[in-house]
C-alpha cells in the first residue's frame, strides 16, 4: 500500500491473531529486485498495475492531476516517444 492522504485505521487483533508481520518503508529502491522476481513468478500481473498510458506532454494534466483526483488509478506509464 502507498502513503495515504487520510488516516488509515487497522485492527491490531487481525495482525496478532493471524500471526502476521507488518513492515513499513519509505521507498522501494532496495526491494525492487524482489518485486521484479515476484512478478516474473506470476504472484501478481504487471499489466494490471498500469491503469493509464500517457505521453510526456500530458504528464501534468493526465498524469499528476489524474493521480490526485482519480483514486482508481494505480500506475500511469509515461512514454517519452
What is the reported pTM?
A: 0.49
pLDDT in tens, 63-73: 989 988 998 88
Mean pLDDT, residues 4-25 taken together = 82
Relative to beta strand 75-79, strand 50-55 is parallel
DSSP 25-38: -S--TTTHHHHHHH
pLDDT in tens, 43-70: 888 778 889 999 999 999 999 899 889 9
Amino acid at each position: 500500500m502507498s502513503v495515504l492522504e487520510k488516516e488509515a485505521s487497522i485492527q491490531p487483533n487481525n495482525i496478532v491473531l493471524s500471526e502476521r508481520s507488518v513492515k513499513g518503508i519509505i521507498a522501494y529502491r532496495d526491494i525492487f529486485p524482489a518485486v521484479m522476481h515476484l512478478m516474473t513468478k506470476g504472484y501478481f500481473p504487471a499489466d494490471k498495475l498500469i491503469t493509464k498510458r500517457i505521453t510526456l506532454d500530458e504528464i501534468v494534466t493526465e498524469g499528476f492531476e489524474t493521480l490526485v483526483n482519480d483514486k482508481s488509478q494505480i500506475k500511469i506509464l509515461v512514454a517519452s516517444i
